[in-house]
Chains A and B, each alone.
Chain A
Amino acid sequence: MMDGNLKSRHRKQKIVFAILGVTLLLVLAILATIIYFIFVRGIGVISWEFLTAMPQNGMTEGGIFPSIVGTSLLVLGAIIFATPLGVFAAIYMTEYAHKGKIITAIRVGVNNLAGVPSVVFGLFGLGIFVKFLGFGVSVLSGSLTLAIVILPTIIRASEEALMAVPDEYRHASFAMGATNWQTVKNVVLPSAMPGILTGVILGIGRVAGETAPIIFTAATFFSMKLPSSAFDEVMALPYNIYALVTAGTFPAKQVPIAYGTALVLLALVLIINLIAIVLRLKFSRNQE
């Protein structure tokens, strides 16, 4: 009797576990399906020329070189602005003030900034950088907007990396007579570097794919020339995918280019994320 009951309880467990397992497989299958379709439909257009040539005939022929350049510039700009800001913020939070009202307020600020919808960042960039500061629709406006988008990512990653540095390191440095800043600069920051780097790389992946923040601040659909200054507008990979499938008059010619562009962007972002993941695994193993 007891055994029968136990058996049925175990049978129930088996069934439930099977359902849970199938669900997880479903999630992985969805991921595979999306990557598969983008790959299969995009690979046909990809060639050396597609990557390195200028677009032609209103984006219905030719390559996507300006978009690759544009996205690289936006990424570079955003990282240059966001990295020092995020790392210094994290240093203050972990090395100078551990607890208290200011820290709580800062943390609430970071969490809420991370939750702001991307299109709202776009409006903010439009209001501040494009209009108020007069930078116009440009690489500069787009980079600044994107820097704010990834600031929470970089702060959190840097904070985590700094906190993972064992306190013994700090104590040893203090015991030698070093000031707090000398300790941070010479001891804590170097050992936290791999973790901070991981955060920056994740930020790069995010920036490369963001579309809504650059629609009104940086991006243009079609340009015959590369940007010559920070005040020029640029073509960008994610915006171009959107524009190719929603605007223009030759969908039959544009959609394949959109898939090709999507494959380039997807490959770029996946490789960047993979690097970050591998770095983090290596880093956490070293910590142990």
Chain B
Amino acid sequence: MDWKTKEKIIKYILLFFALSSIFFLTGIVIVLFREGLPIFNKIGIIDFIFGKEWYPTYDPSSYGILSLIMGSLLVTFGAMVFSVPIGLASSVFISYILPKKLKTFVKPTIELLAGIPSVIYGLFGMKILGPFLKNVFGLPTGLTALTASIMLGIMALPTIISLSEDAITSIPKRYRDASLALGGTRWETISKVILPTASSGIVTAVILGMGRAIGETMTVLMVAGGAAAMPSSFLKPVRPMTATIAAEMGEAPVGSEHYQALFGIAIILFIITLSFNILADLASRRFKKKVSGQ
């Protein structure tokens, strides 16, 4: 075989490997729809998404997932309220105020926070934060939407901090120099020049953090309390979508309506996280355009 043919063959083999992510993504879509679509046909997609009653094991059973969607949205919202300000403030401090020597120590430490397995956050939330909040608020149970929000917020922090920090440091130095030369203080430079310029990069960080939080499974499974009712307060248990799938898949007979409904939830969840990713991608492209000089 001459070397040109050999090169060509190698190239196509490599291309095949490179396409693997797309294959798997397509495979995930096919599996989810193959197993989950029958439930949409049976009860209607509107009744599935907007139905308020999730009684998969009752007779007659009911498969409305609105309370589960609301549970997911509530804890994700709570997590963002907590983690966006803290994450943003930390990233500003790390990128502009912290001395370089400390920065090389602090950044990896925060990456370590990202490396802790979710089941350990779950254990901490369930056995330490939960009982603590129970005492503070005098609740019947410490496993509530608030507990889940705090734990998810902590877990989203590394994503938000390191991506915002990247966005802030990638802003050309001339922006800062220009503002300082005009007599602005460092804080005025940060708040009036740097942050507005970095905004779309920060938005990317926040959206990816949200995607993380809404798709997180073990922590909410262990910490959110698991009540499949419409959430009415942060101090009550909720049951997010991910927790429902993880908790019930083991008991649902393969191919049953319940099994199909759990795949149906996964379809909705997949669509939500996919749209978050696409949004983040758009924001990130806008940011790159801006920084590279309009």
Contacts and interface: CB of A to CB of B under 8 A. Distances in A.
**Interface extent on A, as a size class?**
35 or more
B215 A115 contact: yes
Interface residues of B, number: 86
B201 interface: no
Contacts of B215: 115-120
B217 interface: yes
A119 B266 contact: yes
The DSSP consensus for interface residues of chain B is helix
Nearest to A27: B90
Interface string A260-288: 00100110011011100100010000000
Interface stretch (A11-19, A45-53, A161-169, A187-195): A11-19
A123 interface: yes
Contacts of A259: 123
Interface stretch (A72-80, A207-215, A223-231): A207-215
A238 B117 CA distance: 8
B268 to A, nearest CB: 11
A109 interface: yes
Interface of A: 9-10, 12-13, 16-17, 19-21, 23-24, 26-28, 30-31, 34, 37-38, 84-85, 88-89, 91-93, 96-97, 102, 105-106, 108-113, 115-124, 126-128, 131, 148, 151-152, 155, 179-181, 202, 205-206, 208-212, 215-216, 238-239, 241-242, 245-246, 255, 258-259, 262, 265-266, 269-270, 272-274, 277, 281
Interface of B: 3, 6-7, 10-11, 13-15, 17-22, 24-25, 27-28, 31-32, 34-35, 85-87, 89-90, 92-94, 97-98, 104, 106, 108-113, 115-124, 126-128, 154, 157, 161, 185-188, 208, 211, 214-218, 221-222, 242, 245-246, 249-250, 254, 262-263, 266, 269-270, 273-274, 276-278, 281
29 contacts: A10-B185, A13-B188, A20-B89, A20-B93, A21-B93, A23-B89, A27-B90, A38-B120, A89-B14, A109-B25, A110-B21, A113-B24, A115-B273, A115-B277, A116-B28, A118-B118, A119-B245, A128-B31, A148-B24, A179-B3, A180-B7, A208-B117, A212-B218, A212-B242, A238-B218, A239-B119, A259-B123, A273-B111, A277-B111
